Structure 1
Amino acid sequence: MSAKAKIIVLRKILVGEWDLLAYAYGTFGRGRILVRKGFYPKNAYSAVFEPFNLLTLDYHQSGELLILNDVIDVEFYSYLALKDYRRFLWMSKVAHIIASWISYYDSNVFDLLQNYLRMDIKNYKVFEIKLKLELVRALGIYREDLFEGEMAKVVNEIDRECRVERLEKIFLSKPAFMEISEALEKMLKRSLD
């Protein structure tokens, strides 16, 4: 029995001689999609399954593995990573955060993933914290009492601000970034248990 899904490719690898295995997040949650002959030169699937692309596909399931039947639609976000190396690193970081901390489908998380992949930003530390804050809020696991004093002020400023221009101007020291990031990741880890 086949099903349809909207997904974002997080990464892809070669399996065997020509097959492609794509790690993706979409309406089935986080999963692996086998694309038979996906790396075959005459097959167009290799470019379609580039990381960061948004796809609508038809698939069937075999155990925990999803097998591609057909690609229905593609929105190419991968070209954004070609703009410069820093943009590629940012998009890779966003994909890594989703792959690491999110297992099940949530439409809010899917929308966040799309929005953050399309962002062209420079203040990576602040936007990484903003993404993690939005994830814990979307999952309903944010605790207001987690941060105190100056750290609480910084977190609240990042959390409340929605304008990219203003977020770009927020200074976040490396120790503060590490402390906030680790606390948010502990919250995200609890959501996986």
Structure 2
Amino acid sequence: MDREEKDLMLEKIMIEYGNELVRLAFSYVKDAEIAKDMVQNTFIKCYKNIDSFRYDAEIKTWLYRITINECKDYLKSWHYKMVAVKSFINETAKSILPSTEKEVMDKYKNEEIKDTISSLPKMYREVVYLYYYDSLNSEEIAKVLDIPVNTVKTRLRRAKQRLESMIEEAEFNGR
């Protein structure tokens, strides 16, 4: 396969499988930017080794396997472990140090919001979680939940409306 054919094939593969591979990588590394890096590494390996691909399996399965291996290697890496240790130390230090009144109030407010979100009906709760906590866009949420994009947008809008009224009601009752 000459270079031009490899370039065209890689471009087609990136367009067809890129988003799926990022979601797959994200499920392992739990960080959107790192997931994109893992997929970029997958595409580099794919480009370098496409000539040796035997077509015993689908190219999709091959790409999934490369992506999973990239993620597992990353999670075993020294860099990842050091970042995790530093994060743990920082979080521990923050919990030991005396908190300011604002930090305490912010934590309380965040817990209240989480509780309020948890009280939403499942169909609203899941889109809010995927949108705000997993940082998925409407199209990705639609694919994950197997519903139309407009349904996702409608559920997000209605969830926001319900949350606003629930928070206002809680603030009114709390006074």
Alignment TM-score, normalising by the size of structure 1:
0.25
Alignment TM-score, normalising by the size of structure 2:
0.27
The structure with the greater share of residues assigned to strand is: 1
The structure with the greater share of residues assigned to helix is: 2
